[in-house]
Structure 1
């Protein structure tokens, strides 16, 4: 691999005798992994279903290494949301954050969704996840991944971090800042990161990270936990960033220990030699099987309140509480097609956004999110069409097959691919909406009529070939 000369010179000066081992690591294949979606099954259950070999990741009990030649995104179980394709060291940040059911958690730089879906699985449907992504196209990918994994208690926002402060000032129990960075830990897997790297890019990323952390501080409640992570080796974006942050804001650096990871932040690479930096993690590709990460866990201490101009008057929400009359077509669909326990559980949280129906997470105040650009204000249940209700892909992925009155469980892989390509299924089924599954796990909806199941898998997600 042809590394930038400026990068090599910088790392040689920093690492000394261990520099050569870093260089040697770039001659090894990239490390690939998948992470179990524990909203749907256990890691052991997943491993037993997969047609390729897996090896456990020490620091994440839900994660597996897979061979770098495997294409995990081509398996029907991927489309069923049983796992997320994720680089193994990238799994470590959420393990450090340790979200618990009931927590309010913010993933501030969330796309494409690896860490957000990991948080969502840890919450197990209880609490609130706000997944934010500034770049519009990436936010769409994030939203799709959250839907595929069957997460029901998430909001997806498409905002500058500072725009969230009015809505969520000191509201979150835990915040993850997986900051945009110079991407030095992506060189083996992403040629674009290698081509874009420069010393100037390191400086630009540092400036962005400072602003993002400032917003994160204002969004975290006192006593809450902030985890900062990057996939770069640059001290300016890692140790020095955390050192400057704790000098400015009231935070304690908490000790981070994960199985299989022994390297910590380098105090010698900071400006003021803050010893607390030794409590952070620096994961390097020559000491673990992975691409590399930096992780710091920070606890917010009580401090003097900032004199901020937090807006108290909020705009009228475009979301509105659905009336019984407006819900008639949905209610008919739910009673005829869904298990009562499922639709009764969300009955008091149904809101309309235009023709779309959502179940918003418990505790969300509509007026506080009215000014935000929302891609997903909760679980999208479906769309009202003329004289009918059409259920959504997100609803299908949030269900178990047993929660649908009418389901079709495909045991044939070729039939599953046929459905995922958007083709009709020549199968006999009871007339009406039907939840299509593969080996016990939903893929999406179809509609049965006259011995044929018409395909309602989203056009934008359909595959061309297996």
Structure 2
């Protein structure tokens, strides 16, 4: 792997005696990580059923290394949303942000969803998560990952933060800024980033990063916390960006991040953390935690009345137990909301709350996202396969199934599960399972 000369000179100046150790890290295989979805299963219970050889990632409470020989993206538990596949170092920023239940949280640059899904587990079905990314195309993958994780309290949006800043001053309790960057820390994992660095180097992103972070700070409540992170080593993109925001916001201050073996402090900023691939089992990262002076005040949520619902929706809702919230109908979509958060005119919202399903003429069809947000106890009709049953993969491929051996007296809409973890919906009639698994989610 040929690294740019300018980059090597910068790294040699940064690492000095450790520079050769850093270069040698490119000869080692990258590390693979998965993070357990504690919205669906505890870490302890997952370890009992996990088919993979897992070793704990030391800076998270729910992350594990797995072997490159494992194929977790092909396992039914992946389709049940029991874990998220994420580079180990990338798990640190959301772990560090001190999210409490009932917080209103903003993930500013959220796609593809690794950090948002972690923040959702911290909220634990309470409060609100605004999962935003300016790229509408990247938001499609973000939306799927949020839905796969069973997040029922999330909005997925695609907005410029400078627009949001005008409408949501001091609105959010916690904010995560995983800023776009030159990607120096990912050169081993994604060598194609080297070409991009040659074109833009580490001087292209700092103005963008400063704008994003300053806008985010304006939306942070007094007493709130904000994490700034990148996957790069450049001082221009890390410590200088932090210094810029500290200079512009005197009410902001750094908070020390607890360091474990291998973690390095920021350059002249001891509170921050730098991760280097020759020091830890993961790629390069920078993380800073800041707090705004003042006291946070939680606003009491007042839910609006639900919209008038068609009979087909009302009939379906008799099969389900939903938590307290508001049901709204937006064109043909039926959405469940747990907060009174309001979108301003022009705000690009892909999903506001949990999509229950879609009206199709006089019929209602429940969504894949609803299935993944449920526990079996919340739905009247449940069909459960064991993990060894070959029909699990057939269901995930969208096939119609013969289930006469499992069929009891239930019929109609049915929640299909594997080992009691929901996968999706189907219609059951006389021992035949008509598959309703979403086409865009199917097993490949």
Do the structures match in fold with TM over 0.5? yes
Residue equivalent to 1:273: none
1:105 touches 1:130 (CA, 8 Å); kept in 2? yes
1:233 deviates by 0.9
Q: What is the TM-score of this pair, normalised by structure 1?
A: 0.89
1:105 touches 1:173 (CA, 8 Å); kept in 2? yes
Q: Secondary structure of the equivalent of 1:200?
A: helix
2:307 touches 2:329 (CA, 8 Å); kept in 1? no
Q: Which runs of 5+ in 2 are unaligned?
A: 296-303
1:154 touches 1:361 (CA, 8 Å); kept in 2? no
1:322 deviates by 4.9
1:211 deviates by 1.2
1:407 touches 1:434 (CA, 8 Å); kept in 2? yes
Correspondent of 1:299 among 286, 291, 299? 291
1:79 correspondence with 2:71? no
Residue equivalent to 2:300: none
Q: Which has the higher helix share?
A: 1
2:263 touches 2:280 (CA, 8 Å); kept in 1? no
Correspondent of 1:375 among 337, 350, 355? 350
- Comparing 255-264 with 432-441, which one deviates more in the overlay? 255-264
CA distance in 2, matches of 1:72, 1:11: 35
CA distance in 2, matches of 1:73, 1:51: 12
2:210 touches 2:244 (CA, 8 Å); kept in 1? no
Residue equivalent to 1:94: 94
1:199 deviates by 6.9
Residue equivalent to 1:391: 366
1:30 deviates by 0.5
1:423-462 matches, within 5 Å, as 423-428=399-404, 429=407, 430-462=410-442
CA distance in 2, matches of 1:416, 1:167: 46
Residue equivalent to 2:298: none
Q: Which whole-Å deviations, capped at 9, do the CAs of 1:360-411 have from their partners, x for residues lacking one?
A: 232313xx44431111100000011122211111110010112111111111
CA distance in 2, matches of 1:69, 1:292: 23
1:352 correspondence with 2:329? yes
Residue equivalent to 1:271: none
Residue equivalent to 2:380: 405
1:190-201 matches, within 5 Å, as 190-198=190-198, 200-201=200-201
1:414 deviates by 2.2
Q: Mark the CA change 1:360 to 1:408 in structure 2 (over 3 Å): closer, same or farther.
A: same
Q: Mark the CA change 1:234 to 1:140 in structure 2 (over 3 Å): closer, same or farther.
A: same
Q: Which whole-Å deviations, capped at 9, do the CAs of 1:249-287 have from their partners, x for residues lacking one?
A: 1211111114445311011xxxxxxxxx22111111111
CA distance in 1, matches of 2:434, 2:191: 41
CA distance in 1, matches of 2:2, 2:48: 40
1:173 touches 1:221 (CA, 8 Å); kept in 2? yes
Residue equivalent to 1:278: 270
1:59 touches 1:260 (CA, 8 Å); kept in 2? no
Correspondent of 1:328 among 311, 325, 343? 311
CA distance in 2, matches of 1:88, 1:140: 23
CA distance in 1, matches of 2:199, 2:9: 11
- Comparing 75-84 with 1-10, which one deviates more in the overlay? 1-10
1:164-175 matches, within 5 Å, as 164-175=164-175
Q: Secondary structure of the equivalent of 1:402?
A: helix
1:108 touches 1:176 (CA, 8 Å); kept in 2? yes
Q: What is the TM-score of this pair, normalised by structure 2?
A: 0.93
Instruction: Give the ranges of 4+ consecutive aligned residues of structure 1 lying more than 6 Å apart after TM superposition.
Output: none
CA distance in 1, matches of 2:334, 2:165: 27
- Comparing 256-265 with 355-364, which one deviates more in the overlay? 256-265
1:321 deviates by 6.5
Residue equivalent to 2:341: 364
2:98 touches 2:225 (CA, 8 Å); kept in 1? no
Q: Secondary structure of the equivalent of 1:288?
A: coil
1:6 touches 1:199 (CA, 8 Å); kept in 2? no
Q: Which whole-Å deviations, capped at 9, do the CAs of 1:416-454 have from their partners, x for residues lacking one?
A: 111111111111342210101111100000111243111
2:105 touches 2:174 (CA, 8 Å); kept in 1? yes
CA distance in 2, matches of 1:377, 1:165: 19
Q: Which runs of 5+ in 1 are unaligned?
A: 268-276, 304-319
CA distance in 2, matches of 1:4, 1:441: 48
1:167-246 matches, within 5 Å, as 167-198=167-198, 200-246=200-246
1:455 deviates by 1.1
Q: Secondary structure of the equivalent of 1:446?
A: strand
1:420 correspondence with 2:396? yes
Q: How many matched pairs?
A: 430
Residue equivalent to 1:18: 18
Q: Secondary structure of the equivalent of 1:329?
A: helix
Q: Which whole-Å deviations, capped at 9, do the CAs of 1:281-323 have from their partners, x for residues lacking one?
A: 11111111111210001111359xxxxxxxxxxxxxxxx9653
CA distance in 1, matches of 2:261, 2:347: 41
Q: Secondary structure of the equivalent of 1:286?
A: coil
Q: Secondary structure of the equivalent of 1:332?
A: helix
